[in-house]
Amino acid sequence: MSNVQNTALINKLGAFVALSGPELSVLDSLQKRQRSFVPGRDLVHQGQSGQVAYILRSGWACSYKILQDGQRQIVDFQIPGDFLGLRSVLLHISDHSIEPVTDIVVSEVMLKDLLSAFQKAPRLATAVLWAASRDEAMVVEHLVNIGRRNATERMAHFLLELGARLALVGVGSRKGYTCPLSQYLLADALGLSAVHVNRVLRHLRELGLVTFRDGVVVFGDYEALIAFAQFDPTYLDQRGPLLT
């Protein structure tokens, strides 16, 4: 059996469908063409058209938009197991840019190969549709986060969501996780200044809820943090396989 079973993507899709051996082989065939990128070099540029998407195998990336005045809004962060640029492939033009946060390794997926894989393995197509729908649900929650939660609740909710996502692919737990995000990146994602981010993280630490220091998030009181942020993970749909 291919080592595709050990990838973050399999763990992620496994929350929706238990893929069979042949389906795993089809998915493995999509991940043959690997490329590496470093921070500062966009994989996808806002406004570009193309026939290529990516599967993030290792490292972190972010999707963002640049406003006319030069300000940046980070839409989301991508972790291993996530698709990059899938929507831009299907819509033929990208409405955002994607940049590595760390050194990353991706699998390059051509549109024709993706459509061929879906034709061979319809349940795989359904699982990818689930993943795309889940990503959309997260973006909706991010809108609520920025629009209606105060800065401290916003940060708490973000760290909990990120922890749940990482736990799904096997690199996080209720104790915490490694996180390469700088305070500047957090600021651009949460609509805060870097100074405000620092103040909010200090407040959460003083409350004994969570500590983010030296690239590591440690949950001090996980249940209390959930209550504080009013975090309901239902939108993440991590219930275990729905299709067998």
The one-digit pLDDT tens for each residue of the chain (244 residues) are 344 335 899 989 988 888 999 999 999 999 889 999 999 888 887 777 767 889 999 999 999 998 888 888 999 999 999 999 887 777 777 778 899 999 999 999 998 999 999 999 999 999 999 998 999 899 999 999 999 999 999 999 999 999 999 999 989 999 999 999 999 999 999 999 999 999 999 999 999 999 999 999 999 999 999 999 999 999 998 765 554 4
The runs of H, that is alpha helices, within the chain are 8-13, 21-29, 86-91, 111-120, 122-148, 151-168, 183-190, 194-206, 222-229
Superfamily name and number for 3-121: Jelly Rolls (2.60.120.10)
- H helix and E strand count, the chain: 9, 10
Under 8 Å CB-to-CB from 69, ≥6 apart: which residues? none
Task: Give SS3 for 11.
Answer: helix
- CATH code for 136-236? 1.10.10.10
Do residues 237 and 134 touch, judged by C-beta distance below 8 A? yes
Do residues 81 and 8 touch, judged by C-beta distance below 8 A? yes
Query: What separation, in Å, do the N-terminal and C-terminal C-alpha atoms of the chain show?
Result: 19
Residues of the chain with CATH 2.60.120.10: 3-121
Residues of the chain with CATH 1.10.10.10: 136-236
Structure-block tokens of residue 199: 């103040």
pTM beyond 0.85: the answer is yes
